[in-house]
Amino acid sequence: MDNQQTVSTAGSVSVPPASVEKHHKYEFFKVVQGYLDEAARVIDLPEYIKTILSQPKNEIIINFPVKMDDGSIRLFKGYRVQHNNLLGPYKGGIRYHEGVSLDDVKALAAMMTWKCALMNLPLGGGKGGVKFDPNKVSRDELQRITRRFFHALGSNIGPDTDIPAPDVGTDAKAMAWAMDTYMNTVGSLFRQSVKGVVTGKPVACGGTLGREKATGQGLVYCIQEWAEERDFQLGGATLIVQGFGNVGSFTSLILSRLGASTIAVGDHTGYLYNPEGFNPHKLQDYVKKNRSIAGYPGGKHISREEFFKIKADIFIPAALENQVGIDEAKALNVKLVAEGANGPCSPEGERILIDRGIDILPDVLANAGGVTVSYYEWVQNKRSEHWTLEEVDERLEKAMQRAYREVVEVARQKKCSMRVAAYAVALQRIAAAYGERDIFP
């Protein structure tokens, strides 16, 4: 295969040439590093640990060719960033999106390190992505892109090395292709069945019950904790939801069972408003068939600006990073922003929300249900077990409640934001592990 790989391993092996990435307008990795700095100050993190965590361990960039339906060969750029594996194998999703860049993937990989540590999972942080628009390729092309990418990743991933999962633009089907590719290449060398090389697989090929809805389910458990603390009734509450893919649609659906209604939704094609509330089942089915909310009957078309001004109780950002900047934060007319997406609020946006008294459930806590159930899937694969949905949900509920309460307690003690507190809890766990190892004798 005609693949080019650039692998850098901090402190050893090869140092890659200076990044050829175009300078990204929103420097997501810098933003995440800013939160790391803040949390490090709050807990007095030893400087050497901050130094180690300030860059990922490995940044893998792969240019790989794929045959398209018209017979042409197109070159794709894929990334896998392995941020830290102190607590366990690298873990994190694979994103297919036209905007994917090394900077984004680095930021998202670092966030996986904090998320797994916060949830007390024996996993580290990683993230991957391929830069293309999955809505503009056929199903067959999507399969060939996935198989070529995972073939090229080769033994850089593995059930005890680095375990990918779905993220924006990927789903259970993509994970089935990924697992099959791995099993027929690297896996076959060891003659081993290695289902645990990816999570978020279809249940029929080793996935767990409850993973598809897990991020939305975890977000709802978190929102329920917030509601209980505030004596806020979710029955009758109103939501606005940006992004109606996996996370947005399941959050809307699960909250509807608690009596909350989604009155506005938006995605990459536009925004819709329905003061009577959308039917989340019907809308989810429509999006599964049509790949977007475009053309869905029963809602009034509104602009993005109008969407952010709608009066509601809760805003669920479930699309991409940097969606709530200064203007959106000034416009939002809600009590709570529950971050389903990773990095939806810019630091400036967050500051304005806090000043306006709007609560924020930060991403590394709020959307950690996905990776937590991915961990359950990995454990089931290792033990050759099948857990019931009730067992998965019960464990997830307890895990989210524990993490929520821990973060609230640190935020109270240290008088810091929930986000900084979430980072602080994660960093304390990482610092304890580094401390015990005496890595610089």
Ligand X SMILES: NC(=O)C1=CN([C@@H]2O[C@H](COP(=O)(O)OP(=O)(O)OC[C@H]3O[C@@H](n4cnc5c(N)ncnc54)[C@H](O)[C@@H]3O)[C@@H](O)[C@H]2O)C=CC1
Ligand Y SMILES: O=C(O)CCC(=O)C(=O)O
Catalytic residues: 127
Token couple for 24: 């990204």
Confirm or deny that 115 is annotated as ligand binding: yes
Query: Which residues are CB-contacts of 40 (< 8 A; sequence separation ≥ 6)?
Result: 50, 427
Residue 169's binding partner out of ligand X, ligand Y, none, with CB under 5 to 8 Å set by partner kind: ligand X
Q: By CB under 6 A, is residue 266 in contact with ligand X?
A: yes
As given in the structure block, the two tokens for residue 157 are 């991933």
Query: Distance between CA 111 and CA 83 in Å, rounded?
Result: 9
For ligand X, give the closer residue by CB, 166 or 362.
166
Residues of this chain that interact with ligand Y (CB under 6 A) are: 91-93, 115, 165, 167, 199-200, 342, 367, 370-371, 374
Kindly give the residue spans of alpha helices, DSSP state H, lying in 271-388: 280-290, 304-309, 326-331, 347-355, 363-366, 369-383
Closest residue to ligand Y, Cβ-based?
Answer: 93
> Which residue from 78, 124, 129, 166 is in contact with ligand X, where contact means CB under 6 A?
166
Distance CA 352, CA 238 (A): 22
Region class of 63: left (phi > 0), else alpha (psi between -120 and 50), else beta: beta
Instruction: Name the segment binding ligand X (CB under 6 A); options: 324-332, 340-348, 382-390, 401-409.
Output: 340-348
Residues paired with 345 in a beta bridge: 324
**Cα–Cα distance, 219 to 316 (Å, whole number):** 9
Residue 432 CB, nearest distance to ligand X (Å)? 25
Q: 246: annotated binding-site residue?
A: yes
Which CB, 252 or 372, lies closer to ligand Y?
A: 372
Judged by CB under 6 A, how many residues of this single chain contact ligand X?
24
- Taking CB under 6 A as the binding criterion, the range among 172-180, 220-228, 312-320, 394-402 that sits at the site for ligand X is 312-320
155 belongs to an annotated ligand binding site: no
Out of 87, 255, 320, 418, the only residue in the binding site for ligand X (CB under 6 A) is 320
Q: Spell out the residues 6+ positions from residue 6 whose beta carbon is closer than 8 angstroms to its own.
A: 16, 17, 59, 60, 61
> In angstroms, what is the minimal distance from the CB of 342 to ligand Y?
5
Q: Which is nearer to ligand Y, 283 or 366 (CB)?
A: 366
Structure tokens at 83: 């941020």
Q: Cα–Cα distance between 411 and 101 in angstroms, integer?
A: 32
Task: Give the distance from CA 317 to its chain's centroid.
Answer: 12
126 binds, among ligand X, ligand Y, none (CB under 5 to 8 A by kind): none
Window of 15-23, 61-69, 313-321, 415-423 that interacts with ligand X by CB under 6 A: 313-321
Bridge partners (DSSP) listed for residue 79: 61, 129
**In the stretch 171-210, what mask flags binding to ligand X with x, by CB under 6 A?**
----------------------------------------
- Whether residue 86 contacts residue 132, with contact meaning beta carbons closer than 8 Å, is answered with no
Q: For ligand X, which residue of 39, 153, 263, 319 counts as binding (CB under 6 A)?
A: 319
Does an H or E element contain 403, and which?
Answer: helix 389-414
Partner from ligand X, ligand Y, none contacting 92, C-beta within 5 to 8 A by type: ligand Y
Q: Rounded to whole angstroms, how far apart are CA atoms 321 and 34?
A: 15
Show binding-site residues for NAD(+). Answer: 215, 246
Show binding-site residues. Answer: 91, 115, 215, 246, 374
Interface with ligand X (CB under 6 A): 166-169, 215, 242-248, 266-268, 292, 318-320, 340-342, 367, 370
